[in-house]
Structure 1
Amino acid sequence: MSYEKIFEYDLDIMSVIEYGVNMQAMLAGQESVPLHGAQFDVTLAGPIKGRMTGTIRGIDYLRVRADGRRELDLRATIETEDGSRVAFSADGVGTPRDGEPIVDLAVKIDLATAAAAYAWVNARPAWGAGYANLATGKIHIDAYLH
């Protein structure tokens, strides 16, 4: 089975809405994850390049479970350089690296559009892998069609 890299994106964390616990303190291990877990709405934006080139903007409805698992739920819009829009949805997990401010990311990406030039995105999901650097607020993902 072959994989085709369709794009990569680099996102900046623009803002965070916290629900009762400080995200930075919790992710740095300075605050415990509440027994019921924690929720953060993380606004993201940045460039996307590859078969689609443009910008991506959205919100990751990040959940951190009491056992430390980070569950990603990103909803975004890709606006291509030619003005087309593609709906972007990604679900996945983040795994922190021991002793580093890095979280490794694995995501399943669903794309949808009625724009004829990008109709190929509707056929099947993409899979992405990358990382979030919590020290710099930067996220990088490489996405592949399977």
Structure 2
Amino acid sequence: MNININENTELLFEEKLHLTNITEYGLKWSELTNGITAPGPEGARFDLDFEGLVHGPKINGTIKGTDYLEVRADGKFMLNIQAAVITDDGKRIAVREDGVLYPHLNGKAHIQLNLQFQTHYPEYRWMNNIQGWAICEVDMMRGEVNVKVYNGQFETIAETA
């Protein structure tokens, strides 16, 4: 099966985030991200608190949340993010994200995310019905993340035998 991104894919907003706190559970974040220590056979857990700005054609405001990050024994970073966007007009939108972070040797990384939204404000209810996706660039040493969030329209193309 092949999947193509439809030409109707639209940028919803961009985020500029920074880490505000890291909760460690026995493994130091700095040792993991500097390559000093690898996760053990049980993996590792971190709670990464973040905040930042949201700006774009559909949404503007701030975001604040926590990534309940699991680093697997094989080094794969599995993201489990719960956040809230506060729009410039004072409305709150809950955001749930999951995805994978792919670290690079230079302290940088990229992330692929799936996003779901929940709100009951009439002007933002349209977000409840979309599946967002995002691509992100990360500076792991500085704790900075640049995110582009899209409302993706996908189409499945059947393979011919």
The alignment's TM-score, normalised by the length of structure 1, stands at: 0.97
Give the equivalent residue in structure 2 for 1:109: 115
Q: Retained in 1: the 8 A contact 2:9–2:151?
A: yes
Bigger Rg, which one: 2
Q: Percent identical across equivalent pairs? A: 30
3-state DSSP of counterpart to 1:82 = coil
Other-structure match for 1:74: 81
State the distance in 2 between where 1:44 and 1:29 align. 22
Q: Which structure 1 segments of 5+ residues have no match?
A: none
Quick one: which amino acid aligns to residue 84 of structure 1? Answer: K
Aligned residue number for residue 127 of structure 2: 121
Shift of 1:47: 0.3
Amino acid at match of 1:125: Q
RMSD, aligned CA: 0.8
How many residues get paired?
145
Distance in structure 2 (CA, Å) of the matches to 1:73 and 1:131: 17
Work out the CA distance in 2 between the residues paired with 1:60 and 1:11. 12
1:132 maps to a residue whose letter is V
Is 2:142 the counterpart of 1:136?
Answer: yes
2:18 paired with 1:20? no
Shift of 1:22: 0.2
Residue type of the alignment partner of 2:128: N
Which residue of 1 is the match for residue 103 of structure 2?
Answer: 96
Residue 35 of structure 1 aligns with which residue? Answer: 41
3-state DSSP of counterpart to 1:29: coil
Task: Please list every run of at least 4 consecutive aligned residues from structure 1 whose deviation after the TM superposition is greater than 3 angstroms.
Answer: none
- Tell me the equivalent position of 1:46: 52
Aligned-residue offset at 1:14? 0.2
In structure 2, the gaps of 5 or more residues are 1-5, 153-161
Q: Secondary structure at the match of 2:46?
A: strand
Deviation string for 1:90-121 (max 9, x for gaps)?
A: 00000011x31111100001011001111110
**Equivalent pair of 2:38/2:75 in contact (CA under 8 Å):** no
Point out which structure has higher relative CO (alpha carbons under 8 A, 6+ apart). Answer: 2
What TM-score results when the alignment is normalised by the length of structure 2? 0.88
Output the CA distance in 1 between the equivalents of 2:40 and 2:30: 14
